[in-house]
């Protein structure tokens, strides 16, 4: 016959940690911008390039198409950088 006795719960772990607690809602807008910016800017790039292609082929000048892509890729890089920095802090 086995006798089960009620045991006290283990004591709380009160050791100090050097990690900052994660608080939901503090600065999460940068994270959401980083997550949502890439697909939005990619679709904007596709739409913009489709709109510029007919003009680009008519004039033979492709600089505007390439410049608009470079600007949008720079915007993606900055939003991703902001999201990565937010994850570190």
Instruction: Examine residue 80 and state whether it is found in any structural domain, yes or no.
Output: yes
Instruction: Examine residue 20 and state whether it is found in any structural domain, yes or no.
Output: no
Per-residue model confidence (pLDDT) at position 1: 66
| Ordered mean pLDDT values, 10 residues apiece, the chain (89 residues) | 72 71 62 80 90 89 90 87 74
Q: Could you give the number of structural domains in the chain?
A: 1
**Domain boundaries, position 56:** 28-88
Per-residue model confidence (pLDDT) at position 23: 57
Instruction: Examine residue 3 and state whether it is found in any structural domain, yes or no.
Output: no
Per-residue model confidence (pLDDT) at position 70: 94
This model's pTM is above 0.85:
no
Instruction: Examine residue 8 and state whether it is found in any structural domain, yes or no.
Output: no
Q: Which residues contact 86 (CB under 8 A, 6 or more apart)?
A: 27, 28, 30, 31, 34
Instruction: Examine residue 4 and state whether it is found in any structural domain, yes or no.
Output: no
Gap between the Cα atoms of 15 and 79, Å rounded: 37
Per-residue model confidence (pLDDT) at position 20: 64
């Amino acid at each position: 016959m086995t006798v089960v006795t009620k045991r006290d719960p283990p004591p709380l772990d009160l050791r100090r940690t050097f990690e900052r607690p994660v608080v939901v809602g503090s600065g999460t807008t940068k994270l959401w911008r980083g997550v949502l910016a890439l697909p939005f800017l990619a679709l904007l790039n596709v739409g913009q390039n489709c709109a510029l292609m007919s003009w680009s082929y008519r004039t033979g000048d492709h600089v505007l198409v390439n410049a608009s892509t470079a600007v949008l890729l720079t915007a993606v890089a900055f939003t991703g950088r902001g999201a990565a920095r937010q994850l570190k802090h």
